[in-house]
Amino acid sequence: MVNLNEYEESVREIRQYAAEHNVSEAQTSEIFRACFRQLEAKYSKKSNRPSRSLRFAFLFILISIVLLRLCNQRWLNDVFIKISQNSIYPALYMLRKLSIPIVSLYPSLSELYDEWCLIENPYFYVSDIDCWPCTVVYSVPDLTGHNISRSFNIGIPYTRAENNTKVKMKDLVNVYWSNQDIFDQDARRISSNNETFKIIHDAMRNRLDVYPTDSLTTHISWKVNRMKPNRILRRLFPKPAETPNWWSQSTEKYIFIDESASPSYPLPNPECSNVVLRCAAGARLIKMTPSSECIQHCKSLTILLSAGHTLWYNWWYWRPVSLPVYNATDLSIGYLTSFC
């Protein structure tokens, strides 16, 4: 509480000081009124702040309720999903084109894209996916020499025989040693079930085709998603023939090196959903397992993918698993890329 006696005494002292310095009573009163107006304006703003915050909170809650109500409208939700899905790939394509000169000027920025903490979400699930495209699949056809139209059923996996696609381990080793600095800087990390192989340098120095392990079960997965090493690897793994011209290739690539008894492992889901797996050497069994959303509607299939052949599929409907070939003796090399 304000002490009124002190207040009156302070006012009296101010008036006395004004009189001693030839300030008239009217001027003194005007000074007091100006001070009161400033105080009134100051405290009125403070008193309005809670009400303004309440108005913003009320407006936010109202907008949230309206949006929730709209999201419950199935037709609106379907329209939004269709528009957003049709815009994802063109937007990413333009963003990739725009980022190329920036990344070229500042190569260290690509390190941010290579963070392995950006792992696949294991709980990702699409509840309303239409599984019809894979329900009609009972085998994996060989479509060598056939062109794929825009109306082709993307749920149908198929194989093709590709010319000049066989790559030996010595070819991969020669390319590595010729460009060691680039690979060690931009694509050095690998994953393997063999602790001997920590980085790509280990795999190229201890060649599995020359120094096989006793168990013959080593698996190496080499992920490459930077421009410089990708350009170099194109010499060994060019763009697949008869690739639809409306597809855009992603920057993310995988190379799999498997000994003859390497255990089964799921193939990764790359950036884009249209996936091409090329067998460059050896052979692997590929089990075409339906995605979790379509496993109740579509059947599993198993094919033999041998050197010089490619497997084309869409990971919205299929989640393949790579298996060893019974009685195989050769080292297997696989190359996986994707298209949007």
Phi, psi of 159, deg, nearest 5? -120, 160
* Residues whose CB is less than 8 angstroms from the CB of residue 40 and which lie 6 or more positions away in sequence, other chains included: none
User: What DSSP assignment string belongs to 275-289?
Assistant: EEEEEEESEEEEEEP
Please name the helix (run of DSSP H) or strand (run of DSSP E) that holds residue 333, with its range, or none: strand 332-339
Residue 159 CB coordination number (10 Å): 22
Question: What token pair was written down for 79?
Answer: 């329209």
Q: Where are the alpha helices (DSSP H) in the chain?
A: 4-20, 25-71, 74-105, 110-113, 132-135, 169-178, 180-186, 200-205, 227-233
Predicted confidence (pLDDT) per residue in 180-223, tens digit: 999 999 899 999 999 999 999 999 999 999 999 999 999 999 99
Which of 158, 156, 281, 179 has its CA nearest to residue 232? 179
Residue 190 carries which DSSP code?
A: E
pLDDT in tens, the chain (340 residues): 456 777 777 777 777 777 777 777 777 778 778 787 777 777 665 555 556 777 778 788 888 777 766 666 666 666 666 666 566 667 777 777 777 787 777 766 665 655 444 555 666 666 678 889 999 999 999 999 888 888 899 999 999 998 667 899 999 999 999 999 999 998 999 999 999 999 999 999 999 999 999 999 999 999 998 888 999 999 999 988 888 888 888 889 999 999 999 999 999 998 889 999 999 999 999 999 999 889 999 999 999 999 999 999 999 999 999 999 999 999 999 999 999 8
Q: What are phi and psi of 8, to 5 degrees?
A: -65, -40
Cα separation of 269 and 223, whole Å? Answer: 12
**CB neighbour list of residue 232: distance below 8 Å, 6 or more residues apart:** 175, 179, 182, 183
pTM above 0.85, yes or no: no
Q: Model confidence over 149-164: pLDDT tens digits?
A: 888 999 999 999 986 6
